[in-house]
Chains A and B, each alone.
Chain A
Amino acid sequence: MATTAPTSVKPAQRLPGETSSFPLLVLLAGWLIPGAGHLLVGKWVRALLIFLSILGMYVIGIAAAGKIYTPNTGDILDILGFVGQLGTGLLYVIARVFSLGASSAVNTLADYGTKAIVVAGLLNIIAAVDAHSLANGRKASF
């Protein structure tokens, strides 16, 4: 039985193997500024939702006096936490520059805050990779 292809689906924009720096730019922008990658590929609603979600989790973490990890403590868990929080991109830099958050989690809520910042970073990495997939045509664009 003959079927018709959906008309709203945009095919991959580039041929496999074709090189372009645009997907890499999208990945980098998405990492540095939450949602910027989706904005570059024209998905501004998704960009706004991602920005608000990740910023919201980051603000909750800071407001709960969550710990901001540093890379040089030598503790493997601290290094993992640092890598996770580094995923927030410029938000992590802002936290370090303006001494936001805390140097240690002193109560249960602060521990939740620490985890919220780490998860915000990990989600931002997922979002940046998603934008990269949209830019290189690996993910269908609706």
Chain B
Amino acid sequence: MLTHFSAMLLFAFFVSIVFGITQRAEPKMMVRFGAYCFVLFVGSVVAMSWIMWAIKH
């Protein structure tokens, strides 16, 4: 059963792959941009989660 976090990780992973392939032309840059997107996705979620936690408490 997917949790919210694991669903987000899979979402970020798959979207980053497609973004990397489609938004860059060179294979090395594709990998780099895909990794960059993944870090941004997950980092944003973690940051937003802590912000919401801080608002609640």
From residue B25, how far is it (CB to closest CB) to chain A in Å? 5
Asked if A25 lies at the interface with its beta carbon under 8 angstroms from chain B, I say no
Contact A142 B14 (CB under 8 A): no
Give complex CA distance A140, B24 in Å.
10
Contacts A53-B17, A60-B2, A64-B2 given; does A116 touch B22 at CB 8 Å:
no
| A-B contact list, 12 entries, CB within 8 Å | A49-B18, A53-B13, A56-B10, A57-B10, A60-B7, A60-B10, A64-B2, A109-B2, A112-B4, A127-B22, A142-B25, A142-B27
B interface residues with partner A (beta carbon < 8 Å) = 2, 4, 7, 10-11, 13-15, 17-18, 21-22, 25-27
Contacts A49-B21, A116-B11, A139-B25 aside, 15 further interface pairs with beta carbons under 8 A come to A49-B17, A53-B14, A53-B15, A60-B10, A60-B11, A63-B2, A64-B2, A108-B4, A109-B2, A112-B7, A112-B11, A119-B11, A123-B18, A126-B18, A142-B25
